[in-house]
Amino acid sequence: MINSGSSSVKYQLIDLDGPTRLVAGTIGRIGEPGSEFHDHEAALERVGEEVAPHAGELTAVGHRVVHGGATFTGPALITDDVVKQIEEAAPLAPLHNPSNLAGIEVMRRLHPDLPQVAVFDTAFHSTITPAARTYAIDREIAERFGVRRYGFHGTSTAYVSRVAAELVGKPETANVIVLHLGNGASATAVSEGRCVDTSMGMTPLEGLVMGTRSGDLDPGVIFHLIRGGMTPDEVEAMLVHRAGLYGLCGDNDMRTVLDRVAAGDEDAVLAYDVYCHRLRKYIGAYIAVLGRVDVVAFTGGVGENSAPVRRKVLSGLAQMGIRLDPTRNSSVRGARLVSADDSSVAVAVVPTDEELEIAVETADILARTNCE
Ligand code: ADP
């Protein structure tokens, strides 16, 4: 499994009979001055050396790709054509797709005999309804520029919604709200294994308040700032890198924000309140979208580790059938239910495992291709 980012490559070698992680690592600072890895080729050659002791057991390489555009509704066996289509989706994810592609190109060159598979962050969301994916703008313009909701975090959400559905004993039929709260953050409504709505949009900027991204915002704000003298690039950089928790209080790490809240810091209190208010709003919205909810599942660094965030976000939702059990909520364990016994909607904490999901989806597509 290769996750090739702009300045880092994460890799894992997973034996799915287990599953067992045989090799795992991250190579950082690619292309930075003084780094021994001047490009992705150098980094992936090192990955090749790390997995060399297992070379005989390698069956395939799964690549994380952020944006699959409107084309990819599931993982794809990589061919020249698939590479071209990923390139075509690059304008929708200019910060991510080119480095994902760099990883693919180098691995294809280094291992031409191994099947390689692209697993897209957007693919799980390809089932969202036209009502949920369509922005209410001029249809011809939307079509021409590819403007629609695509959604992200799909690999994580697919994995977490499946584990949460199993935790409530309804592996096929559960309706699940997944809250992926990491540096990026998204909420997704999943009905019987299929995504029906998600908070990230054409780009990963929409929706929840994130570490450094604003999430939902009146588009009028952007024009107001541009007319006030900021350039479009400056506005974008502000909304992507200097907004969210960071924009509100100067810290994007939730642990620091919570420490400051405990010390009574007013900026941190406001940032925390805005973050939790937005989340609560989306939970209410997705209860309405799904009609019936079996389980709300928290994942990502914040969702998995922060009992105070889960408590604050869900407080006052007893009317909607959501009650936390304070002791279960504070306990530190793996995938588990943290709701009270009399909660009609279960609450789950599920550590995400995107790497395993990529390996599973890679093996699935190969098995299907071999059957055809
Ligand atoms: P990424 O989206 O980059 O994969 P993670 O899912 O690891 O990131 O999430 C990172 C976030 O998780 C950071 O904001 C960090 O503060 C937060 N986090 C990690 N541990 C805790 C904790 N114990 N309490 C609150 N937040 C935490």
* pLDDT tens-digit map of 130-161: 999 999 999 999 999 999 999 999 999 999 99
Residue 195 banded pLDDT, cuts 50, 70, 90: very high
Instruction: Indicate whether 198 and 261 sit together in one domain.
Output: yes
Instruction: Indicate whether 86 and 174 sit together in one domain.
Output: no
Instruction: Indicate whether 106 and 187 sit together in one domain.
Output: no
Residue 118's φ and ψ, nearest 5 degrees, are -100, 130
- Is residue 181 assigned to a domain? yes
Closest alpha carbon to 46 in 59, 27, 23: 27
Atom number, ligand 1, closest to the C-alpha of residue 183? 2
- Asked whether the beta carbons of 210 and 183 are under 8 A apart, the reply is yes
> Within a 13 Å sphere around the CA of 193, how many CA atoms are in the beta-carbon half?
6
Instruction: Indicate whether 82 and 16 sit together in one domain.
Output: yes
Three-state DSSP class for residue 152 = coil
Query: What mean pLDDT comes out for the span 1-28?
Result: 93
Mean pLDDT of the chain: 95
- If you compute the radius of gyration of the chain from its CA atoms, what whole number of angstroms results? 21
- Is residue 245 assigned to a domain? yes
Instruction: Indicate whether 69 and 195 sit together in one domain.
Output: no
- Report which protein residue has its CA nearest ligand 1's atom 13: 253
- Is residue 17 assigned to a domain? yes
Instruction: Indicate whether 105 and 189 sit together in one domain.
Output: no
- Report which protein residue has its CA nearest ligand 1's atom 3: 183
Tell me, rounded to whole angstroms, the distance of Cα 258 from its chain centroid: 23
Q: Which of 17, 80, 121, 138 is catalytic?
A: 121
Per-residue pLDDT, 372: 66
Instruction: Indicate whether 81 and 224 sit together in one domain.
Output: no
Instruction: Indicate whether 116 and 176 sit together in one domain.
Output: no
Query: What mean pLDDT comes out for the span 313-329?
Result: 95
Q: Which of 183, 252, 304 to mutate to test the pocket of ligand 1 (most atoms within 8 A of CB)?
A: 183
Q: Which residues pair with 197 in a beta bridge?
A: 189
Give pLDDT tens digits for 45-60. 999 899 889 988 899 9
| Cα 356-214-358 angle, rounded to 5 deg | 10
Per-residue pLDDT, 232: 97
In angstroms, the first-to-last Cα distance of the chain is: 24
Total residues found in the chain within this entry = 372
Instruction: Indicate whether 335 and 212 sit together in one domain.
Output: yes
Three-state DSSP class for residue 328 = helix
Does the predicted TM-score (pTM) go above 0.75?
yes
Instruction: Indicate whether 177 and 293 sit together in one domain.
Output: yes
- Is residue 88 assigned to a domain? yes
Q: Which of 6, 66, 305 to mutate to test the pocket of ligand 1 (most atoms within 8 A of CB)?
A: 305
Q: How far is the CA of 107 from the centre of ligand 1 (A)?
A: 30
How does DSSP assign 289-300, residue by residue? HHSS-SEEEEEH
Segment (H or E) for 10 = strand 9-15
- Is residue 364 assigned to a domain? no
Atom number, ligand 1, closest to the C-alpha of residue 299? 6
Q: How many domains are there within the chain?
A: 2
Q: How far is the CA of 36 from the centre of ligand 1 (A)?
A: 28
CA atoms 134, 135, 141, 144: torsion sign: negative
What tokens appear for 34 in the block? 């003084």
- Is residue 363 assigned to a domain? no
Give pLDDT tens digits for 248-291. 999 999 999 999 999 999 999 999 999 999 999 999 999 999 99
- Asked whether the beta carbons of 166 and 335 are under 8 A apart, the reply is no
Query: What mean pLDDT comes out for the span 187-206?
Result: 97
Query: What mean pLDDT comes out for the span 21-37?
Result: 92
Strand 185-191, strand 346-349: pairing: unpaired
Residue 153's φ and ψ, nearest 5 degrees, are 60, 20
Binding residues for substrate: 64
- CATH assignment at residue 331: 3.30.420.40
What tokens appear for 93 in the block? 């994810």
Residue 110 banded pLDDT, cuts 50, 70, 90: confident
- Asked whether the beta carbons of 242 and 271 are under 8 A apart, the reply is no
- Is residue 312 assigned to a domain? yes
Instruction: Indicate whether 181 and 239 sit together in one domain.
Output: yes
Per the annotation, the verdict on 138 as an active-site residue is no
Burial of 364 (0-12, 13-18, 19+ CB in 10 A): middle
**Rounded to whole angstroms, what are the CA distances from 135 to 149, 181, 203, 236?**
7, 24, 13, 20
Share of the chain above pLDDT 90, in %: 89
For 323, residues 6+ apart whose C-beta sits below 8 A from its C-beta are 339, 340, 342, 343
Instruction: Indicate whether 63 and 196 sit together in one domain.
Output: no
Per-residue pLDDT, 95: 82
Closest alpha carbon to 65 in 136, 155, 147, 135: 155
Q: Which of 178, 255, 298 to mutate to test the pocket of ligand 1 (most atoms within 8 A of CB)?
A: 255
Query: 101 is in which domain, residue-wise?
Result: 2-120
- Is residue 205 assigned to a domain? yes
Per-residue pLDDT, 332: 81
Per-residue pLDDT, 55: 83
Atom number, ligand 1, closest to the C-alpha of residue 258? 25
- Asked whether the beta carbons of 89 and 68 are under 8 A apart, the reply is yes
Atom number, ligand 1, closest to the C-alpha of residue 300? 6
Pocket of ligand 1 (CB under 6 A): 182-184, 211, 253-255, 258, 300-302, 305-306
- Asked whether the beta carbons of 249 and 267 are under 8 A apart, the reply is yes
What tokens appear for 111 in the block? 């291992």
Q: How far is the CA of 77 from the centre of ligand 1 (A)?
A: 32
